[in-house]
Amino acid sequence: MEKPILPFTFLITLLPLLSNAQILPSPNQQFIGINYGRQGSNLPSAYETIETLKAMQVSRVKIYDSDHEFLKLLSGTSIRVTIMVPDDDIPDIASNQSAANRWVHDNVLAFLPGTMIRGVLVGNEILSDSRAQSLSYQVVPAMRNIKKSLNNHNIHNIKVGTPVAMDIVETSFPPSLGRFRGDIPREEILLPLLNFLNRTRSYFFLDVYPYFSWSENPHNISLDFALLREGNQTAAAVDPTTGLAYTNLLDPMLDSVVFAMQQLGFNDIRIAISETGWPTSGDLDQPGANLYNAAAYNRNLVRKIMANPPVGTPARPGVPIPTFVFSLYNENLKTGPGTERHWGILAADGKPVYELNLNGTVPESEYPPLPEPANNVPYQGNVWCVVASGVRIFDLGPAVDFACAAGNGTCDALAPGSDCYEPVSVVSHANYAFSSFWARFRSHGANCHFNGLATMTTVDPSHGACKVPSVCV
């Protein structure tokens, strides 16, 4: 999943939208697919998942590896699949054509033609991972070797690319000022990547999340704008350089990449959305993460992408944008903020979290109503990090030890005779340790998760002389 993009402020004005010519797509260019991640402890089997995909009439699916069981079970279905080269495999494939040939043989050729593999993505958001800088230089060589191996077998209908996050551009408004980040080497990485995509007629695969941009700046960006609600066609954010008018938050994000590519001389590389979506739940300091907004965003997204003729974006009117929604399931093993575990349109048991039709034919009025959200305004007040409900007591010990080992006085108040030593309770001590750790290290990236053992609360767990540290959000 992408990192949040740099904040920006929109120039909002009232202006009729520019009329644009439409370009009809070929049928295989315009689709909504879905991402199938498996970082969950209790997810349905591969067989059950495929049956669910068929029942949902999903035409495309993207996975984060090349799971052989899943690919074998897809054989004979009409579902097209995009697979991924794991980060760890990139160095060998980049430096050795024989390694690329083996990978293609084992993960592509072994399943053709019964399984309709239509994409191979090399790595996942490599250009956004500061810990994977060396891999950044190896992504394009690996892509070249994969493509060469496919060509040697006369396979030309599989697109090869790599997903990038929105933080690849320095700003996304106004879109005409879109530029790739200055710290990404132009000659060694950017130009080789764009040359490869242009030469092979592949896509610039982009992970793009309006939710992150809105939730970081909810007072200056309209929620309706972020949710792709375009009922008022005269209200637009206007690019002062081009005069292009934007009625939703997704389009300027996409067009900023279009202009960034044009700035380097590449005018024709198409964009595909490899991930987008909206979370159904999150932490108290993550506004707007709820069922109502997630359903609204994804339903509006489907209507936009599946429109016939296609809508495109203001900079590329009528150009279809292949799109994968994130994601199929909620994944309870993902780390990080609460939203990370709540992007699924299905719960872990396979039941819908909310109704979503992916073919674009269901009007909003036919969906069942959802409760109005209560967290669209950022919470302001004190928050504590405490033991989550249903947690097994004997699982807390290692987590408390981890928090206390961080030092910086994190658990001094838990020492015998100190204010928070009593009651001598595992849960009470864990509540203090979790909250104290989070309060001290939140500015360094710590979150209230502790492998699923903790949750945020507005209820102060302090008692007597024991004052449990809190975070003000």
- Which active-site residues does the annotation give? 125, 275
User: Do the Cβ atoms of 407 and 373 come closer than 8 Å?
Assistant: no
User: Do the Cβ atoms of 178 and 171 come closer than 8 Å?
Assistant: yes
User: Do the Cβ atoms of 279 and 211 come closer than 8 Å?
Assistant: yes
User: Do the Cβ atoms of 245 and 313 come closer than 8 Å?
Assistant: no
The token pair at 431 is 């509540």
Distance between CA atoms of residues 244 and 236, nearest Å: 9
Edge-first strand order for the sheet with 12-14 is 12-14, 235-238, 245-246
Q: Which of helix, strand or coil describes residue 383?
A: strand
Q: How does strand 80-85 pair with strand 60-63?
A: parallel
Distance between CA atoms of residues 257 and 207, nearest Å: 11
Handedness of CA 259, 260, 262, 263 (dihedral sign): positive
User: Do the Cβ atoms of 318 and 268 come closer than 8 Å?
Assistant: no
User: Do the Cβ atoms of 313 and 333 come closer than 8 Å?
Assistant: no
- Of residues 119, 313, 307, 104, the one with CA closest to residue 208: 313
176-212 in b/e form (b: 16+ CB < 10 A) is: bbbebeeeeeeeebbebbbebbbebebbbbbbbbbbb
Instruction: Give whole-number Cα distances, 370 to 30, 180, 276, 293, 296, in Å.
Output: 29, 39, 21, 10, 10
Distance between CA atoms of residues 254 and 299, nearest Å: 19
The token pair at 449 is 């998760």
Query: Rg of the Cα trace of the chain?
Result: 24
